[in-house]
């Protein structure tokens, strides 16, 4: 109930603080006999790793994952898979001045108010460092999805007011190649260039900026999602909203759908052989909370990172006025590193619903 567990049948529990010994995750419920490709897990972590480019935090962490249990001769055994990521660059002295002062728009005050005690070093448990554990588990979810042909692809669709055009094509391998070719992780090279310039200028200002990540899921089997509370998009939404700094989620027609009429919004079924298809896809691949076999798509809005290199007025734990200036190593814009976190959480939701759906009928 303390909320460090996600998923029902394919279920993760994460632990660890930003500047503690290590962070990690236990994945329980991974079906036996799944090939566990350690290199793939590490390559996913490398996409989230700090210090990977000039537009990310310069904290140095190799984020090397260790698998402690649950695999045998390269395959899952059905028992819990525990993974550990030691913290290496724990310059917690950077944070010693924060002991008693509440950083604006961080979780310092709320943790203190809730628990009456707080590991103030680098945000402790509230640090986005926790998401590395999600990425490791999400990589195994992707390995499971691969067995079913499901593909998950996220990309930076906006940085500040710079909006990327719609995806030019739908081949995932090609899109991935374009995206990984630029440090903004945008699927459009020209927009990527603008985004990088902009983030870099924001960084030089000692400021930060928000952005959006969009995600598509291809070849999702029909029937995933439970129809009332655990609708597929509701679980995707919760997964995304649980990522640090996320302030909004929309799928299919999203917010713009609220301005449409039924006669334009309805997705007309096409008579054809095989699995039904629709002419449009305002439903975003999900109807009544259940996947319909069309492409699933959604977008996630990230607020700007709260740590800025400016002087800011704030208060201390006694409620007195205080001043703060960010001294840690932080990201000017979180979305390039968030892409793989969005994919990981989406993969975890899909893997969970794939398993859940195995019991929906005799």
Interface positions, 18-37, toward a second copy (CB under 8 A): 20-24, 26, 28-29, 31-34
51 is an interface residue for a second copy by CB under 8 A: no
Rounded to the nearest 5°, which phi and psi values hold at 49? -55, 140
Binding to a second copy by residue 114, rule CB under 8 A? yes
- Number of residues engaging a second copy in binding (CB under 8 A): 148
The least distance separating a second copy from the CB of residue 66, rounded to whole angstroms, comes to: 7
Choose one: 36-44, 98-106, 170-178, 188-196; the region binding a second copy (CB under 8 A): 98-106
Coil, helix or strand for 318?
A: coil
CA distances from 33 to 42, 67, 108, 146 (A): 20, 16, 43, 14
CB closer to a second copy out of 62 and 176 = 62
Helix, strand, or coil (residue 104): coil
- The reply to whether 254 sits near a second copy by the rule CB under 8 A is yes
228 near a second copy, judged by CB under 8 A? yes
Selected range binding a second copy among 39-47, 91-99, 178-186, 238-246, rule: CB under 8 A: 238-246
Told to check if 336 binds a second copy by CB under 8 A, we report: no
Q: Please state, in angstroms and rounded to a whole number, the distance separating the CA atoms of residues 30 and 321.
A: 50
CB-count burial class (<10 Å; 0-12, 13-18, 19+) for 252: buried
Bridge partner list, 83: 25, 67
Q: Which is nearer to a second copy, 176 or 327 (CB)?
A: 327
244 known ligand binder:
yes
Residues in contact with a second copy, shown as a per-residue x/- string from 162 to 191 under the rule CB under 8 A? ------------------------------
**Residue 125: both structure tokens together:** 């448990």
> What is the H or E stretch that residue 41 is in?
helix 38-48
CA distance 98 to 93: 10
93 scored as a contact of a second copy (CB under 8 A): no
Q: Quick check: 57 binds a second copy (CB under 8 A)?
A: no
Contact between 291 and a second copy per CB under 8 A: yes
- Distance between CA atoms of 200 and 82, rounded to whole angstroms? 37
């Amino acid at each position: 109930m303390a909320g460090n567990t996600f998923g029902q049948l394919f279920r993760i529990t994460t632990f660890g603080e930003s500047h503690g010994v290590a962070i990690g995750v236990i994945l329980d419920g991974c079906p036996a006999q799944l090939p566990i490709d350690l290199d793939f897990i590490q390559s996913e972590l490398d996409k989230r790793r700090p210090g990977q480019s000039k537009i990310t935090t310069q904290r140095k962490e190799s984020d090397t994952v260790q698998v402690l249990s649950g695999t045998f001769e390269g395959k899952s055994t059905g028992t819990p898979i525990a993974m550990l990521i030691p913290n290496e660059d724990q310059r917690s002295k950077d944070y010693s001045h924060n002991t008693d002062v509440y950083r604006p728009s961080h979780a310092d005050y709320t943790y203190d108010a809730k628990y009456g005690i707080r590991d103030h070093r680098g945000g402790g448990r509230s640090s986005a460092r926790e998401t590395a554990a999600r990425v490791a588990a999400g990589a195994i979810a992707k390995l499971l999805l691969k067995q079913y042909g499901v593909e998950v692809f996220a990309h930076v669709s906006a940085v500040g007011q710079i909006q990327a055009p719609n995806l030019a094509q739908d081949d995932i391998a090609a899109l991935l190649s374009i995206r990984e070719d630029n440090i903004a992780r945008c699927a459009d090279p020209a927009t990527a260039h603008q985004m990088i310039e902009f983030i870099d200028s924001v960084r030089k200002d000692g400021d930060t900026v928000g952005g959006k990540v969009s995600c598509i899921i291809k070849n999702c089997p029909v029937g995933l999602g439970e129809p009332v509370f655990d609708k597929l998009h509701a679980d995707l939404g919760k997964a995304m909203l649980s990522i640090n700094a996320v302030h909004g989620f929309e799928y299919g027609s999203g917010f713009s759908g609220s301005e449409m009429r039924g006669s334009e919004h309805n997705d007309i079924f096409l008579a054809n052989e095989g699995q039904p298809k629709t002419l449009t896809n305002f439903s975003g691949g999900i109807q009544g909370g259940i996947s319909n076999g069309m492409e699933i798509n959604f977008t996630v809005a990230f607020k700007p990172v709260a740590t800025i290199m400016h002087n800011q007025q704030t208060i201390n734990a006694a409620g007195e006025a205080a001043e703060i200036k960010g001294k840690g190593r932080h990201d000017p814009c979180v979305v390039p590193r968030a892409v793989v976190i969005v994919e990981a959480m989406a993969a975890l939701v899909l893997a969970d619903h794939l398993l859940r759906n195995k019991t929906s009928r005799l």
